[in-house]
Chains A and B, each alone.
Chain A
Amino acid sequence: MNFDELLGNFPALTITGLEQGAIYALVALGYTLVYGVLRLINFAHSEVFMVGTFTAFWTWEALGYDQNSAAPALGPLILALAAGLIVAGVASAATAVTVELVAYRPLRRRNAPPLAFLITAIGASFVLAESFGIGTSRAPFGMPTLLPSETLFTVFGAAVTNIQLLILGVTLVMMVGLDQFVNRSRLGRGIRAVAQDPDTAALMGVNKNRVILLVFVLGGLMAGVAALLWNVRYEFTKFNVGFLIGLKAFAAAVLGGIGNLRGALLGGLLLGVVENYAAGLFGGEWKDFTGFVLLIVLLMFRPTGLLGESLGRARA
């Protein structure tokens, strides 16, 4: 154990952990939304994220940025980011909706047992990842540095960069926006109603299938935003990039209380930070070990996760 390493770098490990946790949280929202409404773990969500990273990258290529191009000025930069965001959001949402329409809806119509959904979800994940793997020769893709990292200020000796602020800021905005949407808007009320009791909601005139589609669209959009932030930060993608992120995000969703939007944020940030502390304290090989031990221990004492509440039981 290396307490010097942990204590000396504590602020820096916290900031980079929060930054990574924010991306976990955005992806975790997709798992939580779908679970809240359908009681289904949508394993294909990790690939929804992967599609977002690739489409944003291809958009940048189409705009003429190759890996070694210089960082653009502010105007073209905003254009590139906005274009990437729109394309990634639309592509991710479209992927999520396609999976729902092609794979899950026919199963629901036939009243398939939960196991069938589980296997279908895993199958859809593999099909998406492998088709990108084959299509891209499983090669890694580096991306241009659109937004060079700059230190804006320091907190207790740890540098905070513009990219870290961007990631945390965007995550918070998306989070608050989604929370308000689900809790205040008419469509959001529909989501909560179906989550609470699908049959009664249907009797009250809520179109269940439309609500489910909406949930997949929202989850896909969040994954698209996460994908863009990922591209800006790590400037890299590969066909299996979603696997680890998806696993961590799913863990984050369970940690915070699956089906709970605020829980996803809390779980994501917590997991990101704990992983970093563990890497600092015990060394990089203990990172995943510690993260998942935390998950297991926490679930022992709080089986429903930190915030525990499901989407349906949120205030009506």
Chain B
Amino acid sequence: MRQKLARVLGGVAISALVFSSAAACKADSGTEEGGNSAACGLKIGFFGPLTGDAAGLGIHMRNGTKLAIDQYNKDNADCKVNLEQYDSQGDPAKAPPLAQQAVGDAKVVGLVGPAFSGESEVGGPIFDAAGLPAITPSATNPTLTTKGWKVFHRGVGNDTSQGPAAGRYIKNVLKAEKVYVVDDQSAYGTGLVAEVKKVLGSVTGEDKVQVKQTNFSAVVTKIVGSGATALFFGGYYTEAGLLLKQLKGAGWKGTMVAGDGVNDALFIKVAGQAVAEGTILTCPCAPATAAKGTFVTDYKAAFENAEPGTYADVSYDIAKIYLEGIKAGKTTRADLLAFVKAYNKAGTATGVTYKFEASGELDPAQVVVWAFKVNAGKVVPDIEIPKA
């Protein structure tokens, strides 16, 4: 009995503690929002993979975001904005708790990201419920803007521009007659392959692989046996590199074409320089290495002489939209969201005019798709793929 009483008392004490601290938190945030100093110490979140299989893509975007914020803080040293990183590892299963963390931090007023389509799918409803504006620099699955989320925007074209452009490249530039398509069963990969197939009409064969798969012998046998001269792969660079390596090892002589998920230097690291040579990688973006203004030199100076990777410039411009809003006194999520929705100005790095449709999609007139080529161990711009 005594023990029971002690337990009850303990329980009451603990719940009292929890409630009082919750109340304290509420009071805290209340004073911050009301105070005049609210514009200082705000945070812009970056949501994407910084470790894991696809970290190579995320790190460049984070760096672009960081560069924009660092430059802003240099000019506004008395009222800084901080970068908050949410490392999703590109894994949709890891995204929900991170998304909750982001919406739970009242200082986070805008997100650059989520970087990938899968994590955007699960993060979107959470951001929407909290009214936290999110502009992805890279998630290209077309369905993301059809879910009725008010907060979600896309700073690049989607796979209905990238996929068909990749298809046109295969058809008109490579002039490949026999094309095999493979996807990794991710939201991004399947969507992209579906768009490519629409343009190509008929394909020689198709198959699916898994994220984290390392042995591709069955699909390699099928591709080699089909006599295909081109392969379109919808997925990310680790699987793309391994698949291509095993294909070339089995004597395949064709060309692989893949989307922006493979468009990274780490693809060459996985596949090896000799294997990767000649691979075509598309991106609904212009080459970051040819970005406008001082972006490239600033980026190299800030990040140990690294060349800006895919979407680094887009991330930079997106972060600058938020920073411009904060500077203009839009310091709540709702104000900043309205600011983003009404935005209509050219980004300094990409030169793209950021103007969003009601769905959150970038104005189609602004979308360009480029083809890149692996040449001597580097991903270099090839051509801008003409619109159909």
Counting chain A CB atoms within 10 Å of each CB, which of B207, B208, B217 scores highest?
B217
In chain B, positions 236-274 with a C-beta closer than 8 Å to chain A are 238, 241-242, 245-246, 249-251, 266, 269-274
Counting chain A CB atoms within 10 Å of each CB, which of B89, B212, B225, B238 scores highest?
B225
Asked if A303 lies at the interface with its beta carbon under 8 angstroms from chain B, I say no
Asked if A42 lies at the interface with its beta carbon under 8 angstroms from chain B, I say no
CB distance from B381 to the nearest CB of A (A): 22
CB distance from B3 to the nearest CB of A (A): 27
Asked if A17 lies at the interface with its beta carbon under 8 angstroms from chain B, I say yes
CB distance from A56 to the nearest CB of B (A): 16
Asked if B221 lies at the interface with its beta carbon under 8 angstroms from chain A, I say yes
CB distance from B213 to the nearest CB of A (A): 8
Q: Mark A235-260, 1 if CB is under 8 A from B, else 0.
A: 11010110110000000000000000
Q: A140-B266, A149-B249 are in contact. Are A12 and B221 (CB under 8 A)?
A: yes
In chain A, positions 81-101 with a C-beta closer than 8 Å to chain B are none
Contact residues in A for B100 (Cβ distance below 8 Å): none
Contact residues in B for A67 (Cβ distance below 8 Å): 269, 272-273
A288 to B210: give the CA distance in the assembly, Å. 10
Asked if A16 lies at the interface with its beta carbon under 8 angstroms from chain B, I say yes
Indicate if the CB atoms of B207 and A284 lie closer than 8 Å.
yes
Asked if A9 lies at the interface with its beta carbon under 8 angstroms from chain B, I say yes
Contact residues in B for A276 (Cβ distance below 8 Å): 217-218, 221
CB distance from A28 to the nearest CB of B (A): 16
Indicate if the CB atoms of A280 and B266 lie closer than 8 Å.
no
Indicate if the CB atoms of A138 and B51 lie closer than 8 Å.
yes
In chain B, positions 266-289 with a C-beta closer than 8 Å to chain A are 266, 269-274
Asked if A5 lies at the interface with its beta carbon under 8 angstroms from chain B, I say yes
Contact residues in A for B185 (Cβ distance below 8 Å): 285
Q: What bracket does the count of chain B residues touching chain A fall in?
A: 35 or more
Q: A235-B245, A280-B222 are in contact. Are A140 and B53 (CB under 8 A)?
A: yes
A-B contact count (CB 8 A): 103
Indicate if the CB atoms of A138 and B221 lie closer than 8 Å.
no
Among A151, A236, A275, point to the contact of B218 (Cβ < 8 A): A275
Asked if A181 lies at the interface with its beta carbon under 8 angstroms from chain B, I say no
Asked if A47 lies at the interface with its beta carbon under 8 angstroms from chain B, I say no
Indicate if the CB atoms of B219 and A138 lie closer than 8 Å.
no
In chain B, positions 30-66 with a C-beta closer than 8 Å to chain A are 51-53, 55-56
A261 to B273: give the CA distance in the assembly, Å. 41
Asked if B81 lies at the interface with its beta carbon under 8 angstroms from chain A, I say no
Q: Mark A277-316, 1 if CB is under 8 A from B, else 0.
A: 0011001110110000000000000000000000000000
Q: A142-B271, A284-B208 are in contact. Are A234 and B242 (CB under 8 A)?
A: yes
Chain A: how many interface residues by the 8 Å CB criterion? Answer: 40
CB distance from B50 to the nearest CB of A (A): 9
Q: Mark A186-226, 1 if CB is under 8 A from B, else 0.
A: 00000000000000000000000000000000000000000
A144 to B245: give the CA distance in the assembly, Å. 11
CB distance from B208 to the nearest CB of A (A): 4
Among A149, A151, A235, A285, point to the contact of B272 (Cβ < 8 A): A235
Indicate if the CB atoms of A138 and B53 lie closer than 8 Å.
yes
Contact residues in A for B56 (Cβ distance below 8 Å): 139
Indicate if the CB atoms of B214 and A285 lie closer than 8 Å.
no
CB distance from A11 to the nearest CB of B (A): 10
Contact residues in B for A16 (Cβ distance below 8 Å): 217-218, 220-221
Indicate if the CB atoms of B214 and A287 lie closer than 8 Å.
no
A190 to B207: give the CA distance in the assembly, Å. 50
A241 to B270: give the CA distance in the assembly, Å. 14
In chain B, positions 73-100 with a C-beta closer than 8 Å to chain A are 89
A275 to B377: give the CA distance in the assembly, Å. 34
Among A5, A9, A13, A139, point to the contact of B266 (Cβ < 8 A): A139
Indicate if the CB atoms of B217 and A140 lie closer than 8 Å.
no
Q: A138-B89, A142-B269 are in contact. Are A244 and B214 (CB under 8 A)?
A: yes
A275 to B219: give the CA distance in the assembly, Å. 12
Contact residues in A for B89 (Cβ distance below 8 Å): 138
Indicate if the CB atoms of A279 and B246 lie closer than 8 Å.
no
Asked if B202 lies at the interface with its beta carbon under 8 angstroms from chain A, I say no
Q: A234-B242, A236-B270 are in contact. Are A9 and B225 (CB under 8 A)?
A: yes
Indicate if the CB atoms of B225 and A149 lie closer than 8 Å.
no
A61 to B90: give the CA distance in the assembly, Å. 29
Indicate if the CB atoms of B208 and A137 lie closer than 8 Å.
no
Enumerate 19 A-B pairs (CB-CB under 8 Å) in ascending A order.
A5-B225, A12-B225, A19-B217, A20-B215, A67-B272, A138-B55, A138-B89, A140-B238, A140-B270, A141-B269, A142-B269, A236-B214, A238-B238, A283-B207, A283-B208, A284-B207, A284-B209, A285-B208, A288-B210
Interface residues of A (CB under 8 A from B): 5, 8-9, 12-13, 16-17, 19-20, 67-68, 133, 137-142, 144-145, 149, 151, 159, 234-236, 238, 240-241, 243-244, 275-276, 279-280, 283-285, 287-288
User: Can you name 20 extra interface pairs (CB under 8 A) apart from A137-B55, A140-B241, A280-B221?
Assistant: A5-B205, A9-B221, A13-B217, A13-B221, A16-B220, A67-B273, A68-B274, A133-B51, A140-B53, A142-B241, A142-B270, A145-B272, A159-B250, A236-B245, A240-B212, A244-B212, A276-B221, A280-B222, A284-B219, A287-B210
Q: Ordered nearest first, which 7 A-B pairs have the shortest CB separation?
A: A279-B218, A16-B217, A285-B208, A138-B51, A12-B221, A68-B273, A284-B208
